[in-house]
Structure 1
């Protein structure tokens, strides 16, 4: 057998266990996603094949990441003893408010400690990945980026003709989940209709959602560039606004430094806006 043998991802529902497919159209932000997965690990072979002794400390870990919120975290972990057949059952819950877009479930066999008498080619760095498996799940097609609220802008301090507004807290170390809210104007029926149909959007819905996504990402990029206290290199806490802004910048502009982006925006803001359109693939045909 392989060093690591995995069963299917299973969703725990009121009706029982359902195998997790590549799409989950019935998901929403208020739901709690409980998942299970059986795993069998040959703990002896895993160590031996890497040049490690039985006293090396290995672990199976599951890390989740969501494309829409740019959040990620460790969902589950367990030690792997130095035995031939180690049966584990992955079991954890994810709050819907932290997810959105595509959810990636990454199952990893990692090194916690190399132990004694490790071979010359053996891994030694804490966290070294010895085996990896990724399962992507599409929660929403062109889904919104964050928890949202559909409200009448007549009752808010925003222009009544606006389509949406992104509320974003000022504290870079605050948790993004509680500091970001996308407000959609109930007067703009094409927008609210597109949001309601995000799991199975029509062509018209896709165009609205693409424009929304580009505008939200532009707002986040602008926030990062104008905040003098923000730096991509800072050690922002996982799930914080700072970590979110850093993730958005790295994803949208992987080849540009923060300083270069600030210069681009200052010297030619119109061209910079066009670059954001390209980075977010505004109105690109799927």
Structure 2
């Protein structure tokens, strides 16, 4: 759904009256949540809302003819997965009056992460052949819109977590956590990633078990883990010589996930220059990562 940028008349926000979003996750429904506690990649979302549209006001204030084809669309965007897609589309009636539409959509948990933005918009569905001056006439021209954001998790990469006694593994006993990342960038991320937590270190195990409602001490450890995991993923991305932002890796693959992490930490920067900086100034590079993930910023 492309948005045009030429100047045209727009109706006021009162032409549409959307209800609060209802979000269902793991069998529980939340009304207009700003955060979903305990969400993970295995949790799909069902979203729903009603939208009441005053077609008379919308067309009058936009200067559009009664036969102009309009539609209501909902587009979601995820800051964690860097994916964006339309999940709902329905044409509005051609006549004036009041239209009541019910929005229902299903979002796959594996496509999401970070902050989920739901954008509801009324747009032109087809070109208006004989437009009045300063009126929208191109398909995709946005007449009205509203955004709502839901924090699923912070922007740390999300993948399966396993509590393990490191005494029965090959991990060093004093290591608080360890990240396992597959080496093939084309392989599925969900089957090739794991964060192992050393349950024999009580403070670390407590922090991860209480991540939904952490104490100050828990928050310190979780923030440190976030920064360390991000650093490991960036180092892993830079170790794959062929990995580059221009490569179109399969959706849900390790390569696509690593590209997302790199874009979040080093937006629009060439991978070769990042590698050179990492190799020439490793200490400064680590500081850059800590600064980008805002380590300890949420500790109170």
Q: TM-score range by the shorter chain?
A: 0.7 to 0.9
Distance 1:15 1:266 in 2: 48
Distance 1:112 1:182 in 2: 46
- Structure of larger gyration radius: 2
Distance 1:208 1:70 in 2: 24
CA contact (8 A) 1:139 1:199 kept: no
1:118-137 alignment, distance < 5 Å: 130-137=143-150
Q: Do the aligned partners of residues 220 and 12 (structure 1) sit closer, same or farther apart at CA in structure 2, a change above 3 Å counting?
A: closer
Distance 1:28 1:240 in 2: 17
Distance 1:128 1:178 in 2: 41
Q: Which moved more, 1:99-108 or 1:255-264?
A: 99-108
Q: Which moved more, 1:271-280 or 1:232-241?
A: 232-241
Listed one character per residue, the Cα deviations across residues 64-99 of structure 1 (whole Å, up to 9, x for unaligned) are 42x5x4353536212223444443222233455655
Please state how far the C-alpha of 1:275 moved relative to its aligned partner: 1.1
Distance 1:230 1:108 in 2: 36
Unaligned runs of 5+ in 1: none
Distance 2:136 2:191 in 1: 39
Please state how far the C-alpha of 1:207 moved relative to its aligned partner: 0.8
**Alignment match, 2:6:** none
Unaligned runs of 5+ in 2: 1-12
RMSD: 3.6
Counterpart of 1:34 (choices 16, 21, 46) is 46
Please state how far the C-alpha of 1:124 moved relative to its aligned partner: 8.0
Please state how far the C-alpha of 1:59 moved relative to its aligned partner: 4.4
Is 2:96 the partner of 1:72?
no
Distance 1:11 1:36 in 2: 7
Listed one character per residue, the Cα deviations across residues 255-283 of structure 1 (whole Å, up to 9, x for unaligned) are 63322211111111121111111111122
**Alignment match, 2:8:** none
TM-score with structure 2 length normalisation? 0.75
Distance 1:7 1:279 in 2: 36
CA contact (8 A) 1:194 1:201 kept: yes
TM-score with structure 1 length normalisation? 0.79
Listed one character per residue, the Cα deviations across residues 160-180 of structure 1 (whole Å, up to 9, x for unaligned) are 332212222333344433432
1:149-164 alignment, distance < 5 Å: 149-164=162-177
Distance 2:262 2:117 in 1: 19
